[in-house]
Homo-oligomer: A and B are copies of this chain.
Amino acid sequence: MSQKNEFDLIRKYFAPLAEAEGAFGLQDDAALYSPTHGYDLVLTTDTIIEGVHYLPDTPPEKIAAKLFGVNVSDLTAKGATPKVCLLNFAPHQNVTEGWIAAFADQVGVALKTYNISLLGGDTVAAPDKAMFGLTLIGEVATGCMVQRAGAKSGEDVFVTGTIGHGYIGLEDAKAGRSSLCRDLFEHPQPPLAFALAAAPYISSAVDVSDGLAADLGHICKASGCGMALNISAIPFADEDPMYLMAQLNGGDDYQLAFTAASENYDALMQVAVDHGIQLVKIGHVVDGKELILLDSDGAALKQPFSDLSENGFSGFSHFGSKK
* Residue positions of A touching B, CB distance < 8 A: 3-4, 6-10, 24, 26-35, 37, 40-47, 49, 51-53, 74-75, 77-78, 80, 84, 86, 88, 90, 93, 119-129, 131, 133, 135, 137, 142, 145, 148, 206-207, 209, 218, 222, 309, 317-323
Contacts and interface: CB of A to CB of B under 8 A. Distances in A.
A41 B35 contact: yes
Contacts of A127: 49, 51-52, 128-129
Contact of A120 (B6, B44, B122, B145): B44
Contact of A123 (B6, B8, B321): B321
B320 A6 contact: yes
A32 B41 contact: yes
B323 A120 contact: yes
Copies of this chain in its oligomeric complex? 2
A8 B135 CA distance: 24
Nearest to A91: B319
Nearest to A318: B124
A29 B120 CA distance: 22
Given A27-B323, A121-B323, 12 more contacts: A3-B318, A28-B148, A28-B323, A30-B43, A31-B42, A33-B43, A37-B37, A45-B135, A46-B122, A49-B124, A88-B133, A123-B320
Contact of A33 (B31, B41, B128, B131): B41
A26 B122 contact: no
A145 B21 CA distance: 13
Contacts of A129: 126-129
Contacts of A309: 4
